[in-house]
Amino acid sequence: MSNETGLVTTSQDNGILRIGIQRPDKLNALTLAMYDALTAALESAEQDKQVRVILLHGTESCFTSGNDLSDFAKNPPAGENSPVFRFLRAINQAKKPLIAMVRGPAVGIGTTLLLHCDLVYCDETARFRLPFVNLGLCPEAASSYLLPKLVGHLKASELLLLGEAIGAEAAAKLGLVNQVLPHDDLLKQVLAKAEKLAAQPPVSVRLTKSLLKENQAQQVAEVMSKEGNLFLQQLSKPEAQEAISAFVQGRKADFSQFF
């Protein structure tokens, strides 16, 4: 089955719900409608007793390049109930185990959403980048809290302040992914992991996931909300407008006039 946008697909087999981001001509850039579709798929999976595991993936050569900035500029999020923030809450609050399979670019939210997944696998083509500062924005998805806990303050500062990309092996060393797998075997091996997880006692799996996240759940929710409010504020500021305009126009942004 597939959702109304056609750019987010779902399929279910052996207790595994696969959610695919399928917009290869735009490097799987996410629009508001796609966020709505992703949220709907996650919420449906939570209610479906046949679903034991959720597998999120992109296409053969790209996970997602993050927000579609053209769509973002035309339809900026207006508050915490905007599609992007609803999606982030849905992925953070998911009770069933989430696996992410990453090929190629994972930019912005394409990397921060991984911090809410339970297992993350990638191939050697994976590239991870957090260009929020580059766009005159600030981190989201509670990444300003979760990323330093995972990789340490200095490395998190480097990733967030400079917005430089890192490769698959570097991501594995930092703990952003569980394992780097060969491109041709990635899907087969990830499905094997998903099937193994789906065969586990479901209540025990959900309880263990809950316990793993419980001690930071309140902090994550609070940071995510604060980041969201600051993100919205920054989006209306001249810095972000210059950065997004420059991207859409295909030119280098100029921040020299700002203080």
Residue 5 has a pLDDT of 59
- Cβ(127)–Cβ(166) under 8 Å? yes
List the domain boundaries for the chain: 8-183
Closest C-alpha to 76, from 23, 142, 137: 137
Residue 79 has a pLDDT of 83
- Cβ(79)–Cβ(232) under 8 Å? yes
Residues of the chain with pLDDT under 50: 1-4
Under CATH, which number does the domain 8-183 receive? 3.90.226.10
The CA angle 100-232-176, to the nearest 5 degrees, is 25
Report yes or no on whether pTM surpasses 0.75.
yes
Residue 72 has a pLDDT of 80
- Cβ(52)–Cβ(201) under 8 Å? no
Mean pLDDT (the chain, rounded)? 95
- Cβ(50)–Cβ(195) under 8 Å? no
Hey, what amino acid is at 30?
L
- Tens of pLDDT, residue by residue over 90-101, are 999 999 999 999
**First-last CA distance in the chain:** 50
Order the strands of the 166-167 sheet from edge to edge.
105-107, 127-129, 166-167
Cα–Cα separations (whole angstroms), residue 176 to 2, 119, 179, 194: 29, 10, 9, 18
